[in-house]
Amino acid sequence: METPTIGMDRKIKALVRAGYYSSELEVIKDAMRSLFRENTELKINAAIELYKEGEVSLGKAAEITGVTTIEFKEILGKREVIREIKARPAEEMDRKLKNLLQT
């Protein structure tokens, strides 16, 4: 990844010196929030990548994207992203079924 240009670096430092932000990191965080707010596609792509890497759950990825879980599932489907679902062991399911049938 490229570092910010000298001009960009100077602008960031100027904003901090002027008191608009407490640190350079705060400037960058605010810039990223603005970028994702303006470019929904980037926000969606970031959420999908985090989900695929297992860094966030399906629900959290949907929240990041600003859609419901159902809508996020649809986005994944349209982009042909395969969702892996962890199944419970068969023995556990058999035991639960047996308990339900006995009541």
pLDDT tens digits, one per residue of 59-87: 999 999 999 999 999 999 999 988 777 77
CA dihedral 9, 13, 18, 19 (to 10 degrees): 120
The mean pLDDT of 35-40, rounded to a whole number, is: 92
- Predicted model pTM: 0.65
- DSSP structure string for 30-58: HHHHHHHHH-HHHHHHHHHHHHHTTSS-H
pLDDT digits (tens, 9 = 90+) for 23-34: 999 999 999 999
Q: What is the dihedral of CA 39, 66, 62, 55, to 10 degrees?
A: 60
Domain ranges of the chain: 6-82
Q: What is the pLDDT of residues 86-95, one digit of tens each?
A: 777 888 888 8
The whole-chain average pLDDT of the chain stands at 90
